[in-house]
Chain A
């Protein structure tokens, strides 16, 4: 069974540009989560999808971040326009419906210069 995959693994962009991160969850997992780790700090929860619906987006830092999960399969996280403080590692995770055990992808390292 394939695990959670994320693309790209690394992205370097300039301040003001737009970047879109993609996450493919484990097949059949209804729950999909986005997290971010800024250097030296904790991994922070961003939002939670159940299928295509946003269940909890309380962790989204501001309206420059837009997450979608059309069709309830893969998800994208767009940052527009990117700022220096957006640099960090963005993790995606998925879990089965009703299960607390989350499986993580390898992360996307975003560097904004």
Chain B
């Protein structure tokens, strides 16, 4: 079956540091890949997505590239802010409107 593995954290960084959160997956076929973010006290929000190999998703300064050869979808940001503190979830669907398979989530803490 499908599975997603991501670093669990907490990951603590200083403001303006470079961020990488690793995500690897196992899936049959050609999954679509997503990063969701949950800010304190709020629900899950879609951060970015990629639907085919070599696609790059980007939003709010975050980027992730769909790497089929390494089955990875690592999340990166060049300069993090305190407001980026949240829990980040890597997820995939087998295709179309299937249910999502999530990683365990990575708690990111940005210190001023």
Contacts and interface: CB of A to CB of B under 8 A. Distances in A.
A98 B99 contact: no
Given A98-B96, A100-B32, A100-B93, A45 B44 contact: no
A104 B100 CA distance: 12
A47 B34 CA distance: 19
B98 interface: yes
Chain A interface mostly: strand
B98 A56 contact: yes
Contacts of B32: 100
A104 B101 CA distance: 14
A90 B2 CA distance: 21
B44 A100 contact: no
A100 B42 CA distance: 22
A105 B87 CA distance: 16
- Size category of the B interface is 20 to 34
Interface of B: 4, 32, 34, 36, 42-46, 49, 51, 89, 91, 93, 95-105
A42 interface: yes
Contacts, number: 63
Given A59-B99, A105-B43, 14 more contacts: A35-B99, A42-B103, A42-B104, A43-B102, A44-B102, A45-B99, A56-B98, A99-B97, A100-B32, A100-B98, A101-B34, A101-B49, A103-B46, A107-B43
A74 interface: no
Interface string A25-61: 0000001010100000111110110100001100100
B44 A104 contact: yes
A7 to B, nearest CB: 13
